[in-house]
């Protein structure tokens, strides 16, 4: 704790508020005791300037476009790490040794299968059910099927829940896709890597050999790694919020999946491809869509653009854009949707509306182009985001439970603006 403090003048009273300094030098004013000492709370719509917790997992400098997992630059992790290695780093704080990584992978593989009874849950969903809704429901149902790993205060149960969550989520994700197209489920195979397994469960059919494109395996790994954590975003905050009541990991993650689905968050990747295809169908009329995005009376937004934290190019978007170029060049392909995205970026980044508001492409702007190339349908885009973000959700849930001094339930306050006390009017007199 630093000895610095900020002074708040409340009428004649001066209140000293401690300043905490993060390892990267960021300074925050600690208001935890403000209410107890003065009766005041702070008001911060949409938590735009509120630090909800301390965390040692991910560092973001939104002004400079920097992202680091446990201190390692995202560019390096993206180039060198496989998703299970990244998950280990995020959850346990250090890069694993070869032995630790092998044990971790074995533990995850051991929990890939679902209870056969869970297949009846999938069967009950209508054929047009969105895979995100299926994913959150079935992940929530894991709390029914795994009753011996629900207790967050028991370290062994927590570890078991982590392996089960990491093992089963990709199976559930792939089954949700198979369910939506009416094809038989493909079971996981333990001799495959995490990404190979997922692609096989998604695209193989029992009647044929499945040949995997190694470029797609690498691209999927890259996308999962880039999505693996991002500080206190909406879904991660949801996982922490829900978990803070001491509920189990499965229920907390299920809530996180629901939060991710919205178009302002993870759902932006699906919305972005819809937008780019819409522009293409509209004779590539970029100007019309840019004008709509700028119109204060139109709630149309450029999807995949802008970010609460980044006021610079999202470093993840830079890597994904490069990968799009490489994949298209390697396969000698021209992709009209990618061409539109490139042009849209160029036009927007030279327009004063976007410059003044510091709106740049985010992680969701180019990712859909790669999913498209891999043959992944639009409705699965956000499911893959969820698969990628899972290690981050788990890392935050675990960090919260292991917090020195113990965990407290998350319970924001409010400024009440409703009616003052009123006299009740009986029904007959209303």
- The site map against ligand CMC for 215-234 (x = CB under 6 A) is ------------------x-
Q: Which two tokens stand for residue 157?
A: 């149960």
CA 41 and chain centroid, separation: 30
If you ran DSSP here, which 8-state letter would residue 228 be given? Answer: S
Q: How far is the CB of 400 from ligand CMC (least distance, A)?
A: 20
Answer yes or no whether residue 311 interacts with ligand CMC by CB under 6 A: no
Nearest residue to 179 (alpha-carbon basis) of 124, 254, 255, 140: 124
Answer yes or no whether residue 362 interacts with ligand CMC by CB under 6 A: yes
What is 327-362 written as a DSSP string? HHHHTT---HHHHHHHHHHHHHHTSHHHHHTT--B-
Nearer to ligand CMC, 237 or 372 (CB): 237
Q: How far is the CB of 412 from ligand CMC (least distance, A)?
A: 17
- The site map against ligand CMC for 102-141 (x = CB under 6 A) is ----------------------------------------
284 is an active site residue: no
Answer yes or no whether residue 256 interacts with ligand CMC by CB under 6 A: no
CB proximity list for 369: less than 8 A, separation 6 or greater: 273, 324, 335, 337, 338, 341
Single residue of 20, 277, 286, 301 touching ligand CMC by CB under 6 A: 301
Answer yes or no whether residue 373 interacts with ligand CMC by CB under 6 A: no
What is 56-102 written as a DSSP string? SSEEEETTTTEEEETTEEHHHHHHH--HHHHHHHHHHSSPPPHHHHH
Are 226 and 132 in contact by the 8 Å Cβ rule? The answer is no
Specify the 3-state DSSP secondary structure of 167: helix
**For ligand CMC, which stretch binds (CB under 6 A), given 107-115, 296-304, 393-401, 406-414?**
296-304
For the sheet with 66-69, list strands across it. Answer: 58-61, 66-69, 72-73
Q: Is the dihedral of CA 336, 341, 343, 344 positive or negative?
A: positive
Nearer to ligand CMC, 167 or 391 (CB): 391
Q: How far is the CB of 62 from ligand CMC (least distance, A)?
A: 10
For the sheet with 27-29, list strands across it. Answer: 5-10, 13-21, 27-29
**For ligand CMC, which stretch binds (CB under 6 A), given 6-14, 137-145, 259-267, 279-287?**
259-267
Q: How far is the CB of 200 from ligand CMC (least distance, A)?
A: 27
Instruction: Determine the Cα–Cα distance for residues 298 and 269; give it in Å rounded to an integer.
Output: 21
Nearest residue to 387 (alpha-carbon basis) of 111, 88, 169, 109: 169
**For ligand CMC, which stretch binds (CB under 6 A), given 79-87, 134-142, 204-212, 361-369?**
361-369
- Tell me which H or E stretch contains 372: helix 363-374
Nearest residue to 393 (alpha-carbon basis) of 253, 223, 247, 243: 253
Answer yes or no whether residue 378 interacts with ligand CMC by CB under 6 A: no
Single residue of 143, 259, 293, 387 touching ligand CMC by CB under 6 A: 293
Q: Count the Cβ atoms, other than its own, within 10 Å of residue 61.
A: 16
Answer yes or no whether residue 305 interacts with ligand CMC by CB under 6 A: yes
| Residue 29 bridge partners (DSSP) | 19
Q: How far is the CB of 61 from ligand CMC (least distance, A)?
A: 16
Catalytic residue among 111, 229, 364, 401: 364
Answer yes or no whether residue 304 interacts with ligand CMC by CB under 6 A: yes
Q: How far is the CB of 382 from ligand CMC (least distance, A)?
A: 9
364 is an active site residue: yes
Answer yes or no whether residue 323 interacts with ligand CMC by CB under 6 A: no
Are 191 and 279 in contact by the 8 Å Cβ rule? The answer is no
Instruction: Determine the Cα–Cα distance for residues 261 and 314; give it in Å rounded to an integer.
Output: 20
Answer yes or no whether residue 265 interacts with ligand CMC by CB under 6 A: yes
Catalytic residue among 111, 130, 307, 396: 307
Total of residues contacting ligand CMC (CB under 6 A): 19
Nearer to ligand CMC, 280 or 311 (CB): 311
Answer yes or no whether residue 58 interacts with ligand CMC by CB under 6 A: no
Single residue of 289, 307, 396, 398 touching ligand CMC by CB under 6 A: 307
CB proximity list for 329: less than 8 A, separation 6 or greater: none
Q: How far is the CB of 309 from ligand CMC (least distance, A)?
A: 8
Nearer to ligand CMC, 297 or 420 (CB): 297
Catalytic residue positions? 307, 364
Residues at the site binding ligand CMC, with contacts judged by CB under 6 A = 233, 264-266, 268, 293, 301-308, 357, 359, 362-364
């Amino acid at each position: 704790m630093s000895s610095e403090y900020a002074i708040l003048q409340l009428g004649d009273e001066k209140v000293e508020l401690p300043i905490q300094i993060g390892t990267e030098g960021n300074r925050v004013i600690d208001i935890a005791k403000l209410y107890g000492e003065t009766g005041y709370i702070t008001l911060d719509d949409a938590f735009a300037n509120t630090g909800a917790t301390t965390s040692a997992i991910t560092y973001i400098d939104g002004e400079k476009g920097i992202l680091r997992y446990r201190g390692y630059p995202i560019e390096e992790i993206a180039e060198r790490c496989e998703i299970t290695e990244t998950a280990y780093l995020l959850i346990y704080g250090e890069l694993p040794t070869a032995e630790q990584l092998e044990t971790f992978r074995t533990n995850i593989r051991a929990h890939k299968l679902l209870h056969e009874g869970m297949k009846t849950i999938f069967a009950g969903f209508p054929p047009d059910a969105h895979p995100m809704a299926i994913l959150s429901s079935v992940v929530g149902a894991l709390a029914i099927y795994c009753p011996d790993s629900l207790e967050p205060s028991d370290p062994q149960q927590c570890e078991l829940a982590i392996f089960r969550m990491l093992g089963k989520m990709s199976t559930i994700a792939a089954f949700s896709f198979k369910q939506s197209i009416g094809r038989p489920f493909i079971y996981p195979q333990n001799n495959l890597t995490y990404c190979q397994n997922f692609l096989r469960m998604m695209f193989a059919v029992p009647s044929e050999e499945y040949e995997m494109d190694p470029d797609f395996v690498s691209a999927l790994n890259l996308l999962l790694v880039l999505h693996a954590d991002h500080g206190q975003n909406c879904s991660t905050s949801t996982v922490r919020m829900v978990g803070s009541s001491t509920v189990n990991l499965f229920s907390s993650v299920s809530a996180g999946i629901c939060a991710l689905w919205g178009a302002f968050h993870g759902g932006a990747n699906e919305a972005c491809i819809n937008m780019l295809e819409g522009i293409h169908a509209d004779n590539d009329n970029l100007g019309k869509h840019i004008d709509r995005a700028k119109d204060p009376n139109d709630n149309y937004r450029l999807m995949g653009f802008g970010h609460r934290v980044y006021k610079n190019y999202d470093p993840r978007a830079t890597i994904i854009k490069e990968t799009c170029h490489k994949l298209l060049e390697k396969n000698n392909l021209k992709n009209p949707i990618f061409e539109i995205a490139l042009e849209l970026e160029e036009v927007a980044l030279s327009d004063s509306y976007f410059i003044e508001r510091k709106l740049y492409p985010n992680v969701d702007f180019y990712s859909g182009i790669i999913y498209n190339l891999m043959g992944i349908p639009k409705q699965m885009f956000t499911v893959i985001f969820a698969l990628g973000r899972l290690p981050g959700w788990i890392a935050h849930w675990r960090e919260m439970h292991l917090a020195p001094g113990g965990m407290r339930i998350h319970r924001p306050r409010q400024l009440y603006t409703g009616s003052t006390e009123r006299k009740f009017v009986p029904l007959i007199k209303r």
